Amino acid sequence: MKHIHIIGIGTGNPEHVTIQAINAMNSAEVIFLPVKGTGKEELAEIRREICERYVTRPGIRISEFAVPQRRTADRSYTQSVDAWHGEIALIYKELIDGLADDGRGAFLVWGDPSLYDSTIRIIERVRQDGGVDFDYSVVPGITSIQALAASHKIPVNLVGKPIEITTGRRLARDGLQAPTTVVMLDGEQAFAKIDDPDAEIFWGAYLGTEDEIVRSGRLGDIAADILTLRSEARQRHGWIMDIYLLRKGRDFEE
């Protein structure tokens, strides 16, 4: 039976790649490498560098494929994501169908496949839709949350207290709900709209890469500086991938 490895590769530092991930890459006949178009060539280049560094078994082929753009006009967020996943699933089906009957393929996933990434659900969609028989396995990777905490030298949680992992869209709608809130996919910079200036923010962009930028402090003091820094970085690179942690309270406070 065909087999697919879904491999977490960390947040941009080739040294994030685990031994388990390297072994999975080298057990594949084909490594499928997504290309996201103009302005995001650097993301594909990092994946290429990882392959060049760690793929050592002769004969492994790198197959690049274009990722379609998500269409949002006249659709809700969930409708646009569902349709987008459907388009990607058709591409994945074709890629997997091209493997030999007992062939092995691998998809390299930024960060970890379980955290705000849809490769697992799209692969499962292909498998359930039928038409191609295969199974798959998942190799975990270093998440952007881990990379952010390491760069700031902080624990993620306060002692004995919960954390929330959410999106910028949800933060803007619901506000801070937990002592520690990790915010991902924030295209609207929701942190600048939070009415809790005494909260602390730990922000990072391009984590794990040579272009990494991190800032931390009282939200009311540095939110504007982060907005400026983020805008300048996005203009310079043509893209930005950032994450932040908001914290209110202290360890051992009831």
Domain ranges of the chain: 2-139, 144-247
Please report which helix (H) or strand (E) contains residue 199, including its range: none
**What is the pLDDT, as a whole number, of residue 85?**
94
Domain 144-247 has CATH 1.10.10.60: no
Q: What is the mean pLDDT of residues 118-132?
A: 93
Residue with tokens 């992992």: 165
Q: Please tell us whether the domain made up of 2-139 is placed in CATH 3.20.20.80.
A: no
User: The tokens of 149 are what?
Assistant: 């905490």
What is the per-residue pLDDT for 253?
85
Say how many C-beta atoms besides its own lie within 10 A of residue 65's C-beta. 15
Residue 39's pLDDT is what? 64
Lowest-confidence segment of 35-49, 149-163, 180-194 by average pLDDT? 35-49
Q: How far apart (Å, rounded) are the C-alpha atoms in residues 229 and 35?
A: 27
Picking from 105, 141, 137, the residue whose alpha carbon sits closest to that of residue 9 is: 141
Q: Return the top range by mean pLDDT from 41-55, 123-137, 151-165.
A: 151-165
